[in-house]
Amino acid sequence: RKEVEQDPGPFNVPEGATVAFNCTYSNSASQSFFWYRQDCRKEPKLLMSVYSSGNEDGRFTAQLNRASQYISLLIRDSKLSDSATYLCVVISDGSSNTGKLIFGQGTTLQVKP
């Protein structure tokens, strides 16, 4: 079983739709969680951190469920520019000081006009 798992998609949605991605992680000692965005053939970039209380940044909402060991990303009012691959990332070695990230394989979102 992979340490971090995502549905690879693709998710094809119309502009304006709301779409949600889930990601599960296997190590219950995982400390920190993130969503990165990767455009086609480009480098990943941090989209947002995921806090225990959940957090929102504009149209994006991230949530953490420690009991069920999953994190989610909700995108409201999808834009064409949201088309990308979204990577779920976990610091999974029990010590967030080491900074070693474990990446999911990514979920591809395609927003269509």
Partner 1 sequence: DADVTQTPRNRITKTGKRIMLECSQTKGHDRMYWYRQDPGLGLRLIYYSFDVKDINKGEISDGYSVSRQAQAKFSLSLESAIPNQTALYFCATSDFGPGGVEQYFGPGTRLTVT
Secondary structure class of 98 (helix, strand, coil): helix
Distance (Å, rounded) from C-alpha 97 to C-alpha 110? 35
Among 23, 44, 78, 83, binds partner 1 (CB under 8 A): 44
Distance (Å, rounded) from C-alpha 30 to C-alpha 16? 34
Which CB, 11 or 34, lies closer to partner 1? 34
Q: Look at the block and give the residue holding tokens 């951190």.
A: 49
CB of 30 to partner 1, least distance (A): 10
Distance (Å, rounded) from C-alpha 51 to C-alpha 62? 8
Distance (Å, rounded) from C-alpha 30 to C-alpha 12? 31
Q: Is 84 in the site for partner 1 (CB under 8 A)?
A: no
Number of residues that bind partner 1 (CB under 8 A): 24
Among 14, 43, 58, 113, binds partner 1 (CB under 8 A): 43
Q: Is 32 in the site for partner 1 (CB under 8 A)?
A: yes
Please report, as ranges, the residues that interact with partner 1 according to CB under 8 A. Answer: 4, 8, 31-34, 41-46, 49, 87, 91, 96-97, 99-101, 103-106
